[in-house]
Structure formats: structure tokens, C-alpha cells
Amino acid sequence: MALMVLIIPFVGFFINSTIIRILFGSESIISGYINSLFIGISLLLSLIILFNPSDITNQINLTWLNLFDLNITFGLLIDPLTSIMMVVVSGISFLVQIYSLGYMHGDKSYTRYFAYMSLFTGSMLGLVMSRNILQLFIFWELVGVTSYLLIGFWFNRSSAAVAAKKAFIMTRFGDFGFLFSIIYLFNFNPASLDIIELYKMIAAGTISTKIATIASLGFLFGAIGKSAQFPLHSWLPDAMEGPTSVSALIHSATMVTAGVFLIARLFPLFDHSQIMILIASIGAITALIAATMGLTSTDIKRVLAYSTISQLGYMVMALGLGAYSAAIFHLFTHAFFKAGLFLCAGSVHHASGTFNMKFMGGLQSKMKLTYYSMLICGVSLAGIFPLSGFWSKDEIILSTFNHGGFIGYLFLLIGLIVAFMTAFYMFRTISLTFYGSFRG
């Protein structure tokens, strides 16, 4: 069943990019419905796995390459972390597919759009389900390639082409670190690339603190690039040049959380290293810088992009402090309300013809459904009781308090400041967009 979750989106990509494109053309609406059906099936199977973990085989391991003494396997690892991420990826993707049926209607490359979306969803599912670090890296790179294609989807616009290249190149810098750590671990012991075996080696004390620290630094650099953490954070706001539906999928719930997922997946290795405070510091600095940028931007999508960077910083800070559950909880809640905010931004753009909030205002009476949807998601992002954002953000702030000492209280102060700034720029965004008189 788990293998089907992974295969189905790739089947959708094949059908859209070949059969539908050849038989029905590049603007066929059939591609959207087929894509939605396929991703919907993946979501259904993911939910079955999430709620019935005892009925699912936890590990699938097949020989991929057997050469001399080298044995590389293709494997799927289904544990609580994987189950949650499968639902996040397939769930957000399914909602975005439904939204895209109308949002992308009339686009000359309608079929190509849905083919890319299927390929991206399959790549992201492969990333979160991988048992082998080398296999994870292959899907990691495939996610990077498909995100490049989606950010630069309207490649005839020079700004979109430049943004796609910037995102691709900056994330590649981080990937050098990821690849270095793979080579380093392989040189130490090829079996350590198997995540289950890696866990066993750490528990048995086979991997020293020095080895764990060196390997963790490389993996951290990869996570910094993919999750847009300081200093490799500047690509994400520019990546808003792609369709808004792409931003909702890639830049809120899936690709940008890949770095956070990597740290969580290899958490025993990071916890065994000496860089946990470094991880927390990078997250805290990123959260503060991005929140400050969000206060001044007048482009609604860029505000949400800076918000995403800031909230990812929250998650990274929590992981650095050892608050594994709090970080994953916030990843889950953030994925849904941030995707909702991006989709609302796309709706506002369709109505007003702009993303610049200076030329909006007074839309509350004309777009009531969008207004209330954005208000609910915005209140959740701001961390207002009793919505989900309050509970997940509260857990992260509590983790800084429980850490204690000067470091813990410093992170607590930063967390509280960022929480206040988040609430401020979110209500500023809603106010400029929906209240007052129309300024367009």
C-alpha cells in the first residue's frame, strides 16, 4: 500500500505528459481532473496508513545495486514521522489540485502544469518515505528540479526565469553539504546510509561524537538551503514569481519543509553531535530576520513568503533545543493554514489584479468567503487561542522555557518577539487587503 502511495503520482505525471498531451493537447481540462483523482487516491491511502499503522509493513527493503561488496538497497520506511508527512504532502497537494482546476483555467500550458505538479508530489513523497539516505538524496534533487520547473513555469517572464535560476543555484549550495555527508558516512561504513542501521550504530556507540558532528554539519547545510534558513534564505521571496497555487504547495507545506524533515529524520545523529545549539541559533536568527522583513513588505505573497521562512526558523530552533514533537506538530499545523493563506492570496489577486496591498482595500464585502478563510488562517498563524497555531507555537515557546539557563531564556525572548511580530504583520496584511476603501 505504501508503495502505491509513491507510484500513483508518477503514473499521473506519465499520463499527463504523454497520453493526454498527445491526444487532447496542452490545454485539456482532463489533465486537471485526472491529476486530482490520482493525488486523491494517494491521500486516501496515506490516511489509511496513518490511522492503521499496525496493519502496514513498517519497512520495505529491495536490493537496488549489488556490486562486489557493495550492496545498495531501495527501501521505504513507514514510521509515525513518515505517516504524518505523507498526509501533509498528499493532503496539501490534493487541495491545491482542486484549487488549480479553476485558477489555471485557460492557461496555454494547462497540461504541462499538472504534469509538473504530479512529478513534484511524487518526488516529495519519495523523499519522506525513503529508508536509504542516498535514495533520499536522489528524491531531494528531483524535488529541486521540479521546483525549478514550477517556479519558472511562466518562463517567458524574465522575472520568473531569474527567480527559478536563483532558487535552483542557492539550494545547490546547500546540497554540496548533503552530498559531502553522504560520502563521509559511506567512507566510514556503507551500511550507515541505511537509516535503520544508522540508528542502531548510534545506539550501540559505533558512531563517535566527532563523526556525528562532521556528518551533521553537512546535512545541516543541506537543510539550510532547502528550508531557506539564514544565510541561504533570500531565494524564497523571489520564488513567488510562479503561480500562486505553486507557492501554496511548494513554499508552505512541502519543499521548504524538506530541510526540517531531514533534521527530524536524522535527529538521533544530530542529537549525538555537538551542533544542536548551532541549529537552534540558526533557526532563531532566521525567524527574527524574516519576521522583520514581513513587517515592511507590501506584496501579499512576499509577506507570506517571509512568514514561511520565519515559521521554518521556529521549527529549526525547536529541533535544535531537542523539542522534536513540538517542531513536527508546528510543521503539520503550519502546512495547512499557510497553504490556505496562499490560496486566499491567489483569490484576492484574481479579484483585484494585483498582489500589491497598496492597491487593495475594501474587499471584505465583495469577497466574504475569501475574507473569512484568510481571517481564520491568519489568526491561526498569529497563534491566537483556540486555533491550531496557538497550540503548536505554544509548545515551541514552552520548549525554550524548559531548556532553562541563559541560552534557553534568550531563545524564549526571541520566540516571544517573533510571535508578536507575526501577529502584527498578519493583521496588517488582512487590514490592508480587506478593510477601508478600495485603492486600486
Residue where a domain terminates, one of 230, 257, 274: 274
| Same domain, yes or no: 157 and 260 | yes
Q: Are 360 and 440 in the same domain?
A: yes
CA distances from 406 to 159, 188, 327, 403, 411 (A): 45, 37, 21, 9, 9
pLDDT of residue 269: 95
Helix-, strand-, coil-residue percentages of the chain, each rounded to 5: 75, 5, 20
Whether residue 424 sits in one domain with residue 321: yes
Are 137 and 268 contained in the same domain? yes
Cell triple for 134: 542516498
Which stretches within 104-232 are classed as H helix?
110-129, 133-151, 158-188, 195-204, 209-226
pLDDT at residue 270, rounded to an integer: 95
- C-alpha distances (whole Å) from 112 to each of 32, 84, 339 are 10, 29, 22
pLDDT at position 17: 84
Our measurement of the distance from residue 51's CA atom to the centroid of its chain's CA atoms, rounded to an integer in Å, reads 23
Q: Report DSSP state, residue 81.
A: H
Question: How far is the C-alpha of 261 from the C-alpha of 202, rounded, in Å?
Answer: 19
Is residue 291 assigned to a domain? Answer: no
- What is the chain's pLDDT, residue by residue, as a tens digit (440 residues)? 788 889 999 998 888 888 887 777 777 788 888 989 999 999 999 999 888 866 554 566 666 666 666 667 778 888 899 999 999 999 999 999 999 888 888 778 888 888 999 999 999 999 999 989 999 999 999 999 999 999 988 888 888 889 889 988 998 888 999 999 999 999 998 888 889 889 999 999 899 999 999 999 999 999 999 998 988 888 888 888 888 888 888 877 788 899 999 999 999 999 999 999 999 999 999 999 999 999 988 899 899 999 999 999 999 999 999 999 999 999 999 999 999 999 999 899 888 888 888 888 888 888 899 999 999 999 999 999 899 999 999 999 999 998 888 898 999 999 999 999 999 999 999 999 998 887 76
Q: pTM for the full model? A: 0.93
Pair 121, 137 in one domain: no
The answer, yes or no, to whether the previous bond of 386 is cis (omega within 30 of 0) is yes
Tell me if 332 is assigned to some domain.
Answer: yes
Residue 170 domain-assigned? Answer: yes
* Rounded Cα gap, residues 272 and 275, in angstroms: 9
Q: What is the pLDDT of residue 209?
A: 93
Set of cell numbers at residue 137: 538524496
Both 19 and 48 in a single domain? Answer: yes
Domain boundary among 249, 274, 299: 274
Q: Looking at the domain assignment, is residue 232 inside a domain?
A: yes
Find the domain containing 374 and state its range: 309-440
Peptide bond into 231 cis (omega under 30): yes
pLDDT of residue 67: 63
Same domain, 136 and 270: yes
Residues 1 and 34 in one domain: yes
In a domain, 120, yes or no: yes
Q: Are residues 136 and 121 in the same domain?
A: no
100 and 183 belong to one structural domain: no
Question: Taking Cα atoms as reference points, which of 401, 421, 393, 419 lies closest to residue 332?
Answer: 393
Within 8 A by CB and 6+ apart from 154, the residues are 160, 241, 242, 243
Q: Is residue 280 part of a domain?
A: no
Q: Is the same domain home to 212 and 234?
A: yes
Same domain, 222 and 334: no
Residue 155: what pLDDT?
Answer: 83
Of 225, 255, 274, the position where a domain reaches its end is: 274
Number of domains observed in the structure of the chain:
3
Tell me if 286 is assigned to some domain: no
297, part of any domain: no
Residue 117 and residue 147 in contact, taking contact as beta carbons nearer than 8 Å: no
Place of cell 482595500: 361
